[in-house]
Amino acid sequence: MPESVSPDPDVVDQVLESLETSVGALVERFAEVAERLQQMESEHSKLKNTFESSDLDSMDATQFERRLTGLADDNKQLRQVIKEARERAQRIRRRLIVLEDEV
């Protein structure tokens, strides 16, 4: 925005409110994903410990190993979601800073 033109305060307020809502939603989603990741890591650890200390037959062990692999894959996906949410929140925060500086 050119320095000689003042931004419309109503438009700025609307944009700031919209960004604030978006950041709030991202923070909530991030908290949900972080909680789910923690639960999955806990379950993965319990299953792995049980698997390592058990004397299951080979068919059960194979099924258990698949479950552990599935949980590990879920954890990787959740970590990616968290990473993307953090990056998106940072972009929105930078926009907010720019808009606040213009006001």
Lookup: tokens for 91: 């972009």
User: What is the pTM (predicted TM-score) of this model?
Assistant: 0.47
Residues 6+ positions from 82 with CB-CB distance below 8 Å: 30, 33, 34, 37
Note the maximum CA span of the chain: 77
Residues 6+ positions from 33 with CB-CB distance below 8 Å: 78, 81, 82, 85
CB 33, CB 82: distance < 8 Å: yes
Q: Per-residue pLDDT tens for 19-78?
A: 889 988 988 998 999 999 999 999 999 888 887 776 665 557 778 788 889 989 999 999
Lookup: tokens for 79: 């970590």
Q: What domains can be seen in the chain, in order of their start residue?
A: 9-102 (1.10.287)
